[in-house]
């Protein structure tokens, strides 16, 4: 499983419940279309977190880079209905930071033959 991470802060005047509803609509749409395997939204607690990362954290799970690429292609099309969902979230956030991680060790990993 690959996990696409998004950390962000809300723009001034944006309600946290409004943001949660928009994320749920967007991620739910992508998942219903088979473009992501799952997702999760978390919020920083007690002010604890790495410097530079936002108060909110969205984790988007995809089976592999092929599925992630399909999701990016759909969103990049800027066509409806996905454009409305994307705008609904993107218009509410600032200071977004992105990362891509994978489960480890990889399921295809062979041990003992490494040459490094």
Model confidence pLDDT, tens digit, residues 53-104: 999 999 999 999 999 999 999 999 999 999 999 999 999 999 999 999 999 9
Strands 93-102 and 56-62: unpaired
**pTM given for the model:** 0.91
1: nearest Cα among 73, 74, 97, 107: 107
Q: Give the number of other Cβ atoms within 10 Å of residue 95's Cβ.
A: 13
CB 43 within 8 A of CB 55: yes
Ordered domains of the chain (ranges, CATH): 2-102 (3.30.70.100)
**CA-to-CA separations, 5 to 39, 63, 100, in angstroms, rounded:** 10, 14, 6
Rg for the chain, CA atoms, rounded: 16
Note the pLDDT of residue 108: 85
Note the pLDDT of residue 73: 97
């Amino acid at each position: 499983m690959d996990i696409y991470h998004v950390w962000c802060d809300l723009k001034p005047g944006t309600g946290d419940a409004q943001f949660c509803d928009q994320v749920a609509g967007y991620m739910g749409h992508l998942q219903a279309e088979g473009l992501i395997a799952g997702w999760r939204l978390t919020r920083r607690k007690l002010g604890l977190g790495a410097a530079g990362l936002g108060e909110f954290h969205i984790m988007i799970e995809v089976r592999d880079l092929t599925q992630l690429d399909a999701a990016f292609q759909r969103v990049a099309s800027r066509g409806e209905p996905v454009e409305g969902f994307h705008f609904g979230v993107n218009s509410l956030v600032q200071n977004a930071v992105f990362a891509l991680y994978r489960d480890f060790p990889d399921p295809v990993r062979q041990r003992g033959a490494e040459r490094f």
